[in-house]
């Protein structure tokens, strides 16, 4: 609730998985290739954050899991949006899934 009250968008892990299943087609070679190229532009730490986002974790959860501050996680998520041409966390999750990382 605090995240949503603070302006962050939040989806449960089950909703994230459902969206990926409906909109992500991992059998499409072009999508997999594009996603792999996009993920390849990320730093190792950004890739770690992206994988946690794909698991449906909040910024606070990611911070705890990866031993960084929430502000640092927010910075990484913002860079993920820019580098992956995404406008939300679900699009990041779909890219990670299409790249075969989740």
User: Greater confidence, 38 or 26?
Assistant: 38
What per-residue confidence (pLDDT) applies to 27? Answer: 59
pTM of the model: 0.72
Percent of the chain with pLDDT over 70: 80
Q: What pLDDT digit, counting tens, does each position of 29-61 carry?
A: 677 888 888 899 999 999 999 999 999 999 999
Residue ranges and CATH numbers for the domains of the chain are 27-98 (1.10.10.10)
Using H for helix, E for strand and C for coil, what is the string for 5-62? Answer: HCCCCCCCHHHHHHHHHHHCCCCCHHHHHHHHHHHHCCCHHHHHHHHHHHCCCCHHHH
């Amino acid at each position: 609730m605090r995240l949503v009250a603070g302006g962050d968008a939040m989806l449960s892990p089950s909703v994230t998985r459902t969206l990926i299943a409906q909109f992500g087609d991992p059998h499409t070679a072009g999508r997999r290739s594009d996603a792999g190229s996009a993920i390849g532009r990320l730093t190792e730490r950004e890739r770690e954050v992206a994988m946690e986002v794909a698991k449906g974790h909040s910024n606070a959860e990611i911070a705890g899991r990866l031993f960084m501050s929430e502000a640092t996680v927010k910075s990484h998520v913002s860079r993920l949006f820019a580098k992956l041409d995404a406008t939300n966390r679900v699009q990041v999750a779909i890219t990670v899934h299409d790249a075969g990382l989740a």
